[in-house]
């Protein structure tokens, strides 16, 4: 691994909602880049949009990043040499930079009214021009300023763009050139004095000594604007690396709610485990070779580099995430898997908050019986609910399929009587006796096994039937068989043929 402690990168989310999986991918790539180079990973909060930023969202971003294991070395909450790391607390710093730009003439006050601006936009449209602002206030005199102020007009501050192309050498996308006809004097400070994103972002990147800005390709348009500001300030901008977009489908649409959950927190709640999500996210744009899919965190750190990131977008394929999740769930040992599953059983009202030691070993056996079936942790309820409650129904489809043919009452009664006779109710004896009973029947095994499953679990899929019998125990197994027999007798099911 290379070490270059001068690498400083940042993840700079806007706290206007939950942490989006696309944002988490950006955070991960920054984190991996820092860890690979032995550099510093910073969490900065871009909350200049006062109206849309919330504390709740900030908290959710912190929680999601921590859950993913993407700890930061400097930044919000923990502080550091360049604190504060929350933009709304950095007003004085921005004021200093704005003044510097005004003093050097690289920025200027613009007094245009909304009406004037919309006229300019109309005209630009009519002339098919990209420049919706025509530079009207570029060269105001001191008198002009006085006059506008006297009229009570409020001013914005605009950056003066140079009359030459801006070249961005992107570490992923290569060189992009933005010509003067696509540039215009952008507003960098609103008329209420609030600085805007393009200013605050590059000022912070400069102030915080950021060496590499790694962010989504949707920011590429902002990069030229930020470079203009950096140049006007006489500073070398950081290097830029724009990550290909995360797509919702192979048709090229940006990932959105329409394609499924997009929030990291939702995946946590749905029973995905962080190792799986991180492994999934690293493959959204980055690859080691054309075959490796499974990466431990150490593998990722050792191998991560920007030059292995592709230029085209990658599709967020939930099926692949599910496959990885199943893989990582199975990598947990039984005790770890059980403790990861307990909160889901508690959430679904199947377990109390406090768990006694005997209960824990029973739980481990249940988890063991479920085997490799879990795609998510939340699936435990699907496979194991009936272990915890008698309150389940028989699905009409199963009833129709398994209880309306042959003579289920007779075979169920037969199994029940066989089980009743067993004194030492443990796995081997139960297996031998029940199999012997089944072998003596004329009907196919499945004609007994499925009604029996239905009796014990209310469904026809799930853990091994003998494991279910042992885990439920003799008494419960027998009473559940009796319950189904009663059900058949009262509803008349099973007596059709």
Q: Which CB atom, from 161 or from 203, has the smaller least distance to ligand GLU? A: 203
Q: How many CB atoms sit inside 10 A of residue 348's CB?
A: 14
- Among 215, 225, 242, 385, the residue binding ligand GLU under the rule CB under 6 A is 215
> Cβ 244 to ligand GLU, closest distance in Å?
15
If one asks whether residue 22 binds ligand GLU (CB under 6 A), the answer comes out as: no
Binders in 24-63 for ligand GLU, by CB under 6 A: 46
> Cβ 86 to ligand GLU, closest distance in Å?
12
Alpha helices in 127-177 (DSSP H): 142-150
Strands 74-75 and 239-243: unpaired
C-beta separation of 406 from 486 below 8 A? no
Edge-first strand listing for the sheet containing 107-110 = 107-110, 156-159, 187-189
- The span of 6-14, 178-186, 244-252, 423-431 binding ligand GLU (CB under 6 A) equals 6-14
For 62, 89, 266, 290, 488, the CA distances from 53, given in Å and listed in that order, are: 14, 13, 20, 41, 59
Q: How many CB atoms sit inside 10 A of residue 104's CB?
A: 12
> Cβ 107 to ligand GLU, closest distance in Å?
20
Catalytic site residues?
A: 257
If one asks whether residue 219 binds ligand GLU (CB under 6 A), the answer comes out as: yes
Go through the chain and tell me how many residues it has.
Answer: 497
- The span of 8-16, 172-180, 306-314, 446-454 binding ligand GLU (CB under 6 A) equals 8-16
- Rounded-to-integer distance, Cα 205 and Cα 229, Å: 12
- Rounded-to-integer distance, Cα 431 and Cα 423, Å: 13
If one asks whether residue 13 binds ligand GLU (CB under 6 A), the answer comes out as: yes
Strands 40-43 and 8-11: parallel
Q: Which CB atom, from 30 or from 477, has the smaller least distance to ligand GLU? A: 30
> Cβ 219 to ligand GLU, closest distance in Å?
6
- Among 201, 224, 279, 376, the residue binding ligand GLU under the rule CB under 6 A is 201
> Cβ 243 to ligand GLU, closest distance in Å?
10
Binders in 455-494 for ligand GLU, by CB under 6 A: none
DSSP category for residue 86? B
Q: How many CB atoms sit inside 10 A of residue 81's CB?
A: 8
Binders in 355-384 for ligand GLU, by CB under 6 A: none
Q: Which residues bind to ligand GLU, rule: CB under 6 A?
A: 12-14, 46, 201, 215, 219
């Amino acid at each position: 691994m290379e070490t270059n402690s001068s690498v400083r990168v940042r993840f700079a989310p806007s706290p206007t909602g939950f942490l989006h999986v696309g944002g988490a991918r950006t955070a991960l790539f920054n984190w991996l880049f820092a860890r690979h180079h032995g550099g510093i990973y910073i969490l900065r909060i871009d909350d200049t949009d006062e109206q849309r930023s919330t504390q709740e969202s900030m908290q959710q971003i912190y929680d999601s990043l921590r859950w993913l294991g993407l700890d930061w070395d400097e930044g919000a909450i923990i502080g550091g040499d360049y604190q504060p790391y929350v933009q709304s607390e950095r007003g004085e710093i921005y004021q200093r930079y704005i003044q510097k730009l005004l003093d050097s003439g690289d920025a200027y006050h613009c007094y245009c009214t909304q009406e004037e601006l919309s006229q300019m936009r109309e005209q630009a449209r009519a002339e098919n021009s990209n420049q919706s602002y025509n530079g009207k206030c570029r060269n105001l005199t001191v008198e002009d300023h006085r006059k506008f102020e006297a009229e009570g007009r409020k001013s914005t501050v605009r950056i003066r763009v140079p009359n030459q192309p801006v070249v961005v050498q992107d570490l992923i996308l290569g060189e992009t050139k933005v010509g003067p006809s696509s540039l215009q004097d952008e507003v960098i400070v609103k008329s209420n004095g609030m600085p805007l994103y393009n200013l605050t972002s590059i000022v912070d990147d400069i102030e915080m000594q950021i060496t590499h800005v790694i962010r989504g390709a949707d920011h590429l348009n902002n990069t030229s604007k930020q470079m203009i500001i950096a140049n006007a300030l006489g500073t070398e901008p950081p290097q830029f690396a724009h990550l290909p977009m995360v797509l919702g489908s192979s048709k090229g649409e940006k990932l959105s709610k329409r394609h499924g959950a997009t929030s990291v927190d939702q995946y946590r709640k749905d029973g995905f485990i962080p190792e799986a999500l991180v492994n999934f996210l690293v493959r959204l744009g980055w690859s080691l070779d054309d075959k490796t899919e499974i990466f431990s965190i150490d593998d990722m750190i050792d191998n991560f580099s920007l030059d292995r990131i592709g230029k085209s977008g990658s599709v967020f394929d939930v099926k692949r995430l599910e496959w990885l999740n199943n893989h990582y769930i199975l990598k947990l040992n039984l005790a770890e898997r059980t403790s990861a599953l307990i909160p889901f059983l508690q959430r679904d009202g199947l377990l109390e908050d406090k768990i006694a030691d005997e209960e824990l070993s029973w739980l481990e056996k249940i988890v063991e019986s479920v085997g490799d079936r879990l795609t998510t942790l939340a699936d435990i309820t699907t496979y194991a609910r009936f272990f915890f409650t008698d309150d389940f129904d028989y699905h009409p489809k199963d009833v129709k399929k398994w209880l309306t043919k042959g003579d289920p009452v007779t075979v169920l009664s037969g199994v029940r009587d066989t089980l009743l006779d067993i004194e030492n109710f443990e796995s081997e004896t139960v297996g031998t006796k029940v199999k012997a009973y089944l072998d003596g029947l004329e009907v196919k095994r499945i004609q007994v096994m499925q009604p029996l499953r239905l009796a014990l679990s209310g469904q026809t899929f799930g853990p091994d039937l003998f494991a279910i019998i042992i885990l439920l125990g003799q008494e419960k197994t027998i009473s559940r068989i009796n319950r189904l027999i009663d059900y058949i007798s009262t509803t008349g099911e099973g007596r059709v043929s």
